[in-house]
Structure 1
Amino acid sequence: MMNSESGGEKVTQVETELKNNGYDLKAMGINAWGYTQDKELLWTTIDIHSVSDGTMVPTMRYNNSSGSYNGIYTVWWCKVDETSNQYPYLDTGHKNEYSESSVIKEAAKKKDFNQMVQWY
């Protein structure tokens, strides 16, 4: 799991690559992100430094390669973990799909960021 708070060369490479492809995370107001080994990118506009350990924050998730879920956005709650590292981060192992986003069952709508961000 890689996350924005860990810093380092790989984080910079990911942020640069996203920006080069039209996704400027800072310009979009994204304060924290995480990338899982399941190839899911999760992000939040919440300042995770301003919330308590264990707080669940709204998080957008993009699953870029998982069978029939390829290229789908969903809205999740993700726990902020301040105890496992020297910095707070999105604990992507503790996430729950937000109920309103789960009512949208049509994959075509879930592929549309603007359609899904309304639930965020």
Structure 2
Amino acid sequence: WGFGVFWLVMAIASTIYGLKRGKVAFNIGWWGLTFPTGVFISATNTFAKEFSNNGFKVFGAVLTISLFVLWVFVMGKTIQGVYSKKMLVAPCLAKLQTIQPPATQPVQEAE
């Protein structure tokens, strides 16, 4: 659990750092933030129940609200991206030139 807190802090700090400098753009990969965060919240709430600890309960509640806000944000950006069709284009493929197949000659029958 402690290792999870470390990585949660690192993820939040690096995301904020990137957002402030305009180096982090929204993409479909942001959905990957929701599952591990939910699992970490589940572990936190289990600790709160098993240890009867109010600190874990409060931390779990704060994380749950944060996850809800994150989910709403990601859902909103996804809907916006699909509506504008920006989410439906792979940037790495958009730069490729299309290759035209070679012109085919009609097949001549053997005499």
| TM norm structure 1 | 0.20
Structure with the greater alpha carbon radius of gyration: 2
Give the number of the structure whose residues are more often helix, by fraction.
2
The TM-score, its normalising length taken from structure 2, stands at 0.21
